[in-house]
Structure 1
Amino acid sequence: MVHRFFLECSWNGGRNSTGVIKTGALESTISIPSEMNGPGEGTNPDEMLLGAAATCFVITYAAMLERANIEKESLTLSSEARVDVTKNVFTFKEILHRPTVILKKQSDQERAKKFAYQAEKSCMISKALAGNVKVVVEPVVQVSN
């Protein structure tokens, strides 16, 4: 079975212009980020790639915890993208995922940590990035008081 996703985009000018994307429930203005000498309006490809990687990772991680019957109080994620600029060439180098999971039982702590690393390897977006963008997971697994 093949799942299909569609995106529509309109762009109103040259490099430093803006556009609009629409896909599913997502609609956003897009442009080059101000850090890269663009207008910095709406979102940009770097944030969108980071968003795709982060959402895929956290959904995969949550599903793994659920299938393993690991009860959690909370699961949060902080992710960071690192883009290198050398001689005016922009290269998406690395994504760091820092999940924090608060568990109900101490006995689940090691398995929950192991699943964080497995989630990165199982995530469809991480697989698509493999060999091009390094993805690192730095999990924090705690037990509620």
Structure 2
Amino acid sequence: MDALYTAVATANGRDGRAVSSDGQLDLALAMPPAMGGNGQGTNPEQLFAAGYAACFASALALVGRQAKVDTKDISVTAEVSIGKDETSFALAVVLRAELPPELENETGHQLLEQAHAVCPYSKATRGNIDVQLVVE
């Protein structure tokens, strides 16, 4: 891969801080209450959800442009769940794309599948975690 950009961040655990090398990201980290924490900070699942939603929305815009479909009113919500699997912990994702009424059809579903094929987050998770695509 020919890297176009490399993000660098350092974290010191689920109850600590996450800081990017350029200082643009500087967040308190905390376990969510559902996992026994105080919830007084963000958590890796929220960070992953934000990144995945942004990346997938960008991929939708790309495939929309290629198909000559207006995607400016599309938004993506990522729900990232953490739970236990057979051996330890695992993630699952639901990507909810809010589409304008004219795309709540086969075209909209096709755009989601195409975006899922090109989105770097989708590529990174493919075969590793369950990802569901939902048109809203």
TM-score, length basis structure 1? 0.74
1:87–1:63 Cα change, 3 Å: closer
Q: Structure 1 or 2: larger strand share? A: 1
Q: How does 1:1-145 map to 2 (within 5 A)?
A: 1-9=2-10, 11=12, 17-22=15-20, 25-72=24-71, 74-85=73-84, 89-92=88-91, 94-102=92-100, 106=102, 109-140=105-136
Q: Is the 8 A contact 1:70 1:112 kept in 2?
A: no
Q: Is the 8 A contact 2:76 2:95 kept in 1?
A: yes
Describe the superposition over 1:103-129 as per-residue Cα deviations: whole angstroms up to 9, x where unpaired: 6xx599533331111111211111111
Structure 1 segments, 4+ long, off by >6 Å, are none
Q: Is the 8 A contact 1:61 1:116 kept in 2?
A: yes
Secondary structure at the counterpart of residue 29 of structure 1: strand
Q: Is the 8 A contact 2:108 2:135 kept in 1?
A: no
Inter-partner Cα distance in structure 1 for 2:95 and 2:104:
20
1:133–1:124 Cα change, 3 Å: same
Sequence identity percentage: 20
1:78–1:10 Cα change, 3 Å: closer
For the aligned residues, what is the CA RMSD? 2.9
1:128–1:40 Cα change, 3 Å: same
Describe the superposition over 1:27-59 as per-residue Cα deviations: whole angstroms up to 9, x where unpaired: 322232222223323211111222222211111
Secondary structure at the counterpart of residue 65 of structure 2: helix
The structure with the largest alpha-carbon Rg is 1
Inter-partner Cα distance in structure 2 for 1:87 and 1:109:
37
Unaligned runs of 5+ in 2: none
1:87–1:37 Cα change, 3 Å: farther
The offset of 1:97, in angstroms, is 0.8
Unaligned runs of 5+ in 1: 141-145
**Number of equivalent positions:** 134
**Range moving further from structure 2, 27-36 or 122-131:** 27-36
1:82–1:67 Cα change, 3 Å: same
**Range moving further from structure 2, 83-92 or 117-126:** 83-92
1:69–1:28 Cα change, 3 Å: same
